[in-house]
Structure 1
Amino acid sequence: MKTCSISSLEHSFRYFSHLSHLNIVPDSLRFSLLRRLLSQRLSSSRQIKTRPFPDYSPKKPTIRDFELIHQISTTIKLRHSEPFHRILKPYESRFRPDHLIWVLMNIKTNYRLVLDFFGWACLRRDPTLEARCVVIQIATTFKDLKLAHGLMRDFWAKPNLDVGLSFAHFVEWLIYTYKDWGSDPHVFDVFFQVLVEAGMLNEARKLFYKMINYGLIISVDCCNLYLSCLSKNFDQLLTAIGVFNEFPEVGVCWNTTSYNIVVSSLCRLGKIKEAHYLVIQMELRGCIPDVVSYSTVINGYCHCGQLQKVLKLIEEMQLKGLKPNPYTYNSIILLLCKTGKVVEAEKVLIEMMNLGTVPDSVVYTTLIDGFCKIGNISCALKLFDEMRARQIIPDLYTYTTMICGLCQTEKMMKAKNLFHEILGRGLEPDEITYTALMDGFCKAGEMKEAFSLHNQMVQKGLTPNVVTYTVLADGLCKIGDIDTANELLHEMCGKGLQPNVFTYNTIVNGLSKAGHIAEAVKLMEDMEVAGVYPDSFTYTTLMDAYCKTGELVKAHELLRVMLDRGIQPTVVTFNVLMNGFCMLGMLEDGERLLKWMLEKGITPNTTTYNSLMKQYCVRNDMRVTTEFYRRMCAQGILPDSNTYNILVKGHCKARNMKEAWFLHKEMACKGFKLSTSSYNALIKGFFKRKKFLEASELFEELRREGLVADREIYNFYVDINYEEGNMETTLELCDEAIEKCLLGETKNGNK
């Protein structure tokens, strides 16, 4: 087997030295290449001495043994078509283990006879290690590697085997029988493979170096198996990389599969850059990267969120005529979904299918999960139906993902139907599926349904976990049943389940919203006693409760405690404080808080700015409101539906109807909808400006959306239509006003 030439290594070393000076390649790769280059120069400058295989010289048979051996050999050659147990019956009483070797010497050129005779002998007693190795050598010579593999594997499967001693004896007999019984070097490949498969990696490495002493190198495919086994264990990834750098020094010439294993190992260690450069090295070492090489690096960059590098590698792949596979596309789709670019991820799916690559259930599930997480359930359902139409069978994870999405948007009927579809297909829902559906019922306040599912789950032998109990406790807290939630918490502890921070946070949140702030604080103290430490959510929940009761001093004190304990406040924490300041009209304090956030590197989000803009609109200060809006957009923070509604109502109040109308059109283009109060503000604003056409257009739009105008607007349009003689429209508007406006007010009053 050839090794890489020194000239090609020199070329690679010069190339990577140049790149490293440009800060493109890490020095570690350049030094590794230099080490290999020097090592090969050293080995080429000295002659490697190899020892010959020993001659086989078993003990000689006696004259009596010789006669018996001759009789057995002659019998099986002449009567081989008859059953061996019949033709060899006369010799059974005199047959000894030594005779097996001597008979095999006489028949070793007839492989069929060797197998039949060896099988007959094994039925009487286990063969000696010498005999086993002899037959292994013969089988390998006749290319029956499956039998050779089986004979070796069976030996190592024996119970109570002294591995160290047995390995030494096995290697000794395999080497001793090699020259005269086969001389096929594949026998050592097979033995190496058996050792690796048995997890005896240290013994495999010893065999590798022992064979070098005899001038034999284990095949690259077997070495790949060794590399692969090392790379499966995270703790041995560095060992795998070390072997990859070490083995070429003694003659192993790695192939594409070898590089792919190490590229994957580097990616798992988080060394994506090194993995990428190893793919570049492949070509310089005469090894062509394949779709697996690129896909592995692409997946690595995807996990790091480096989309531009991914797109560049995809382009490079296509230029080389390599077709991305579902694994490649799934990595990209997963990255796009993680970064919220789900629409772009769907475009990748379409491109994938246009190029003839058939997506699998993993690709579809990733995209469905992405749409569910952004709340776009209609697109998720469309993909789910498309998946089934293409005969791609959803698995339990796909169904669970879809159920989670439906539950988050309170589409409980569809979620229940999917759950029954799972059962109808013979799939067994697990704890995650049951808990997802329970969560949906809890969020919808349907606690009876949630507990019914809990009972079904237990009847099926599934054990509710901490998440299950947390979901149920959260549902109970939402309907104000704090006592039952606490009882559930104690039941969970009684079953040996340790509440986690999410469980405690659920009860803290429930107590806070019910106005039991003192109890919530006490529970937070109990958390710490139980060894569960409050996180930013715990503190933020209590701060929100204090802010809503106007106790900003206590909220500030909690923020100080958070910071003292090294707990990093989130943007939600600051939004809670911001909302507290704004609700009390303390806008200057709110602005100072925003400045402090930016100084600490905490990026405000849309909610942060919305709180400030809303209160400046209340003050009718649209100049400052607009300034905050522009500052927010300049920072790359996108306005949401709430932002637009705040601005529309603010401009209407300030009688800036042209600006309000423009914002209405802009939000419609972006898929956002006006709220009822925004419609009412716009319609009234246009009335005051005598812009009746625009007002009427908005009134009809409001009705199409199923929203309710206020009584003043209904009165205006009833009067206009009555004066114009439109009796049918007048009656229709009267009925609508009574049903939606007056009756609605009465119901709310009764509540």
Structure 2
Amino acid sequence: MRKMRSSFAPKRISPPNLLRCLINPKPFCSHSRLPNAPDDPIPDADSTGKIMPNPGSAGKPIHGPACPKQTLDSASLDHVPYLFSAKHGGDEMNEARVIDALLGYKNDAPTARRYYNWSKPRCGFDEGGDVFWVLIHVLVGSRETFRPARNLLIRYVSKCPTRKPSVAVKDMMDCAEKFGFELNLRAFDYLLNGYIRCGRVDDAVDCFNLMIERNMIPFVKSMNSLLSALVRRNSMDDARRLYSQMVVVGVTGDCFTIQLFMRASLRKGKPEEAVEIFNDAKNRGAGPDGSMYNLAIQAACKMSNLSMAFGLLTEMREKAFLPSQETYTNAIMASMRGRNMVEALRLKDEMVSCGIPMNVIAVTSLVKGHCEKGDMVRAFDLFNEMKEKGPSPNEFTFSVLIEWCTRNGDMEKAVELYDEMKILGVPLSVFHVNSMIQGYLISRTPEKALKMFDESVEAGVANTFICNSILSWFCKQGKIDEAMKLVSMMESKGIEPNVVSYNNMMLAHFKAKNMEEARVVFEKMLEKGIKPNNFTYSILIDGYSKNGDIQKAIDVLNLIDSSNVTPNEFVYNSFINGLCKAGRTSNARDALRKFIGEMGFGPSVMTYNSIIDGFVKGGKLDSAIATYREMCVNGVSPTVVTYTSLIHGCFKSNKTDLVLKLRNEMKDKGIKPDIPVYGALIDGFVKKHDMENASALFSELLELGLYPSVAIYNSLISGYRNLGNMDAALDLYKKMTSDGIRCDLPMYTTLIDGCLKERKLDVASDLYSKMLEEGIQPDEVMSTALVTGLCKKGQLEKARKSFEEMGKKDMTPNILIYTALIAEYFREGNLAKAFALHDEMLDKGLTPDGCTYDILFGKKLGGLNSHSATGNI
């Protein structure tokens, strides 16, 4: 049917019958009353929109003088089967007549809706025309028909997917103007909701903008729906722009709006933004509700801002809002990340006192916290409490406890937990198996680790992660053949080795100096399509550098440039460190400058420390100092390691004045000297025979509460020994042992040697006995000092016993020992024994030096002349 313009269109002359309706509007007939409704109810419109006639009412009149006084309303229509047909022209229905009728029901929206459903299939008009929009304006005028109006607009949007919002808004407004309706915001709001419900978000935004342009502000609920739709499709920028438009027109939303943006910020990993939204809402006077507080506390926890989180929790409780279980859990976990066990336990108690049950995540976090503090007793107390009172421990709880038991070497408890998991039916994962394997390896029971590994392979649990644990152990133990067999087994079982597997193999080959084998592993990795990572290239560079093949290290660096891997600090540092260890520190410095200039590399203090240490060890202090200055200019702050290297270099180059300057620089930069720095300073002054400064530094570190190392004690004792002040050396030794520091072999050697030189034979003997009691066996240096010292003091018998002890321990005496004994035998006149020792030297492949021959031929023995010596021979 051809669409007709409404009889209410402006500047149009209506037919006489329609004009009469306007002058004296009557409901469908000349009579103002309707007959009584029949007793039997008549069904509503069917699915096609038609009113179904009731056979029991057939033949009854619908108008006439006998009509009772009853107005036309929705109730009467339910009982009149064909009233609309009789009073609206039957088959002569058209769009204009329908519009006239709908306008007649302007104050009776339910009847208008029923009439529309009845007339629609008879007239065949399309949704979106004047009839449709007149109905919408009528329906939104009555609370009874809000829902039908909304549903009609949703259907309109879904059935007209290509019709733009601008058309719909214009048609709705034109209709209102044409037929004298006041604009009702609800109609436009329902249209907006239609676009949202149908997933036409862009059209919904256009509809929103059109409404704002016409000063029709959507309801907050609709705006929230639109904002939610934008957030769901990750259009945060559009959502913010839309919200800004809302604020401009004076609508700041409600708590749901604020929660929406806070949740979106948290999902995007921007907790600071969520807190800012929360604070802005508070400042505007939009009183936060409990949900907003929960989100703000969650954001503060993600920021690790515990003071903010605790403050919000307190504020929330003061306002009688009950924090959620998730909020307390977040706060507890944040406290654990901040190592604040006390606060975490307080929160746990507060949570329980509020009647909020603990969840397994929070309790497991507390168990882990106790483990990290080394308090396994409390960890297991809490674990047992979980089993008794709930929540039941899950696989993660068991994982934490098993891991820490294995770390602590308590494999008995780890096995107990592992078996308990099986009994309780808690799912076993690769992490549990791997923790057990690692525990057995740490506890030096590799046979049990290998047994568990074999069981995991047979059970089909073993994956690349578990295999790599065993593979790494094989490689660290130098068991390359076993490692290669394991890789073959992995491939046969369908467990693909990954980059970590190949990195372990390469590292093992490099440690064994099997350079070509390492290269073969690398090429095999490439053949299998496994992409090397920065650690792979670092292994190659470091391996070649340590084995002196710098050119191949350079080749690897060039290879990275041709790949898609961006070198990281570890790669650059491996190359620079390799050059320094190979004695090519100047090349390392040039390479660093190239990396900075051409590749944008930002060196760390470790990078510069490698170069500084390389220059110091190479005796190039000026270059080391220059690198130090360059480092400071480039904004890299030196560390105690930097100053330790420089101090060693200064003493090595006899620049004591520069040491003091460096020490002052450390103070100016707020860098506190540590034990290695004090060790370098003390050792330097000791070697300069400046025991006054060395002793002053020792006193200083004691005042700072630092504990001197064995190396510092050894340095000071050596200094006093060299100056012949064994009393001071022995006093230091006594202080050290009283402080619980064990004496090592070099220190015993220094003390015994000094005591022998000062004829403190009893003290030397006591020290030697104590050393043996402590299980410290003498080495060649100790034996040399002992034998030569005893010989010089005329203690030939004791020297001979020490010499014989060396033979029992398969230690070959050196030339100094033989020479000292030969000299002492000569002094006693036992030339036969002296020459016997000479022959023994030759048999053991030792070549006597000039001193030995001088003694043998009496040139250094004042008490023997050449005649007597020759006669004895």
Q: TM-score, normalised by structure 1?
A: 0.60
Distance 2:430 2:619 in 1: 50
- CA contact under 8 A between 1:645 and 1:675: conserved in structure 2? no
- Deviations for 1:636-666, whole angstroms, at most 9, x for unmatched residues? 5466676677679889996856754663564
The 2-side partners of 1:209 and 1:551 are apart by: 64
Name the counterpart of 2:229.
154
Q: Does 1:450 align with 2:520?
A: no
How many Å apart are 1:364 and its aligned residue? 6.6
2:567 match:
464
Counterpart check, 1:663 vs 2:771: yes
Task: Structure 2: state its 5+ residue gaps.
Answer: 1-100, 169-187, 200-221, 266-272, 469-497, 791-796, 821-839, 848-873
State the shift of 1:598 in Å.
0.6
Letter in 1 for 2:682: M
Q: Deviations over 1:75-100 (max 9, x none)?
A: 99x9xxxxxxxx99954655757867
Identity %: 20
The 3-state SS of whatever aligns with 1:569 is: coil
Letter in 1 for 2:384: Q
Please tell me whether the aligned partners of residues 647 and 659 of structure 2 are also in contact (alpha carbons under 8 angstroms).
yes
d(CA) in 2 for partners of 1:207, 1:561:
50
Cα distance, 1:72 vs structure 2: 7.3
Q: 2:347 aligns with which of 278, 281, 301?
A: 278
Pick one of 606, 609, 612 that aligns with 1:502: 606
Distance 1:463 1:588 in 2: 53
Structure 2 CA distance for partners of 1:106 and 1:398, relative to 1, 3 Å: farther
Question: Are 1:558 and 2:662 an aligned pair?
Answer: yes
Aligned residue among 623, 635, 647 for 2:739: 635
Structure 1 residue 460, shift from structure 2 partner? 1.9
CA distance in 1, matches of 2:445, 2:522: 18
The corresponding residue for 2:302 is: 232
* Residue in 2 that maps onto 1:143: none
CA distance 1:298–1:400, shift in 2 (3 Å): farther
The aligned counterpart of 1:315 is 381
How far did 1:595 drift? 1.8
Residue number among 567, 570, 578 corresponding to 1:475 in the alignment: 578
Q: 1:491 aligns with which of 577, 581, 594?
A: 594
After superposition, where does 1:137-536 map in structure 2 within 5 Å?
Answer: 153-155=228-230, 159=238, 161-166=241-246, 194-199=260-265, 201=274, 224=294, 227-234=297-304, 239-249=308-318, 252-267=321-336, 272-297=341-366, 306-308=373-375, 312-321=378-387, 344=409, 353=418, 356=421, 391=462, 393-394=464-465, 428-432=531-535, 434-435=537-538, 438-495=541-598, 496-536=600-640
Output the CA distance in 2 between the equivalents of 1:330 and 1:625: 53
Q: 1:509 Cα deviation (Å)?
A: 1.9
Q: 1:538 maps to which residue? A: 642
Tell whether the 8 Å contact from 1:256 to 1:288 is kept in structure 2 after alignment.
yes
Partners of 1:639 and 1:96 lie apart in 2 by 101
**1:505, CA displacement in angstroms?**
2.8
Q: State the Cα deviation string for residues 376-416 of structure 1 (Å, max 9, x = none).
A: 9999x989996996635449997799799979978887987
Match of 2:652 in 1: 548
1:570 corresponds, among 655, 670, 674, to 674
Partners of 1:681 and 1:88 lie apart in 2 by 120
Label 1:497 to 1:74 Cα distance change in 2 as closer, same or farther (>3 A). farther
CA distance in 1, matches of 2:753, 2:412: 37
Structure 1's 229 and 486: CA in aligned 2 closer, same or farther, altered over 3 A? closer
Query: Cα 1:63–1:398, aligned 2, differ >3 Å: closer, same or farther?
Result: farther
Partners in 1 of 2:279 and 2:753 — Cα distance?
76
Which of these residues, 788, 796, 799, is aligned with residue 688 of structure 1? Answer: 799
Residues 1:120 and 2:159 aligned together: yes
The residue type equivalent to 2:382 in the other structure is E
- Write the distance in 2 (CA, Å) between the matches of 1:532 and 1:97: 73
Deviation at residue 279 of structure 1 after TM alignment: 1.8
Q: 2: distance between equivalents of 1:298 and 1:486?
A: 49
- How far apart, CA to CA, are the structure 1 residues paired with 2:529 and 2:670? 50
Q: 1:580 to 1:254 in 2, by over 3 A?
A: same
Q: Which has the higher contact order (CA 8 A, sep 6+)?
A: 1
Assess, with a 3 A threshold, how the Cα gap between structure 1 residues 424 and 244 changes in structure 2: closer, same or farther: farther
| Cα contact 2:102–2:112 (8 A) shared by 1 | no
CA distance in structure 2 between the aligned counterparts of 1:240 and 1:735, rounded to whole angstroms = 82
Counterpart residue number, 1:130: 190
Q: In 1, are the aligned partners of 2:545 and 2:582 still within 8 Å (CA)?
A: no
Aligned with 2:567: secondary structure? coil
Residues 211-270 of structure 1 deviation map (CA, whole Å, 9 limit, x = unaligned) = 999xx977x6x86556434533456x6554444333445554334322111223445566
**Post-superposition offset of 1:363:** 11
Note the C-alpha offset of 1:491: 0.6
Are the equivalent residues in 1 in contact too, given 2:196–2:229 (CA < 8 A)? no
How far 1:492 sits from its partner (Å)? 1.9
**Aligned letter for 2:583?**
G
Establish whether residue 605 from structure 1 lines up as the match of residue 709 from structure 2.
Answer: yes
- The answer to whether the 8 Å contact 1:648/1:664 transfers is no
Query: For the Cα contact (< 8 Å) 1:536–1:569, is it kept in 2?
Result: yes
Match of 1:612, as an amino acid? Answer: L
Return closer, same or farther for 1:95/1:648 CA change in 2, 3 Å cut-off: farther
Deviation of 1:292 after TM superposition, in Å, equals 3.0
Question: Given that residues 325 and 356 in structure 2 are in contact (C-alpha distance below 8 angstroms), is that contact kept between their aligned partners in structure 1?
Answer: yes
User: 8 Å contact 2:507–2:539 — kept in the other structure?
Assistant: no
**Residues 644, 663 of structure 1: 8 Å contact kept:** yes
Alpha-carbon distance in structure 2 between the residues aligned to 1:206 and 1:88: 54
Please name the residue that 1:698 is paired with.
809
- Single out whichever of 280-289 and 684-693 deviates more from structure 2: 684-693
Using the size of structure 2 for normalisation, the TM-score is 0.53
Q: In 2 relative to 1, CA 627–437 (structure 1 residues): closer, same or farther, beyond 3 Å?
A: farther
Q: Distance in 1 between matches of 2:567 and 2:436?
A: 26
Once residues 684 and 551 of structure 2 are traced to their aligned partners in structure 1, the CA distance between those partners, rounded to angstroms, is 36
Partner SS state of residue 198, structure 1: helix
- 3-state SS of paired residue (1:253): coil
Show the counterpart of 1:26: none
Residue 296 of structure 1 deviates from its aligned partner by: 3.8
Q: Is the 8 A contact 2:402 2:417 kept in 1?
A: no
Shift in Å at residue 608 of structure 1?
Answer: 1.5
CA contact (8 A) 2:553 2:575 kept: yes
Change (3 A) 1:68 1:667: farther
SS of match in other structure, 1:279 = helix
**CA-to-aligned-CA distance 1:513-552 (integer Å, 9 cap, x gap):** 2112233233333444444454433332222123234554
Q: Note the C-alpha offset of 1:488.
A: 0.7
Offset from partner CA, 1:14-56 (integer Å, 9 cap, x none): xxxxxxxxxxxxxxxxxxxxxxxxxxxxxxxxxxxxxxxxxxx
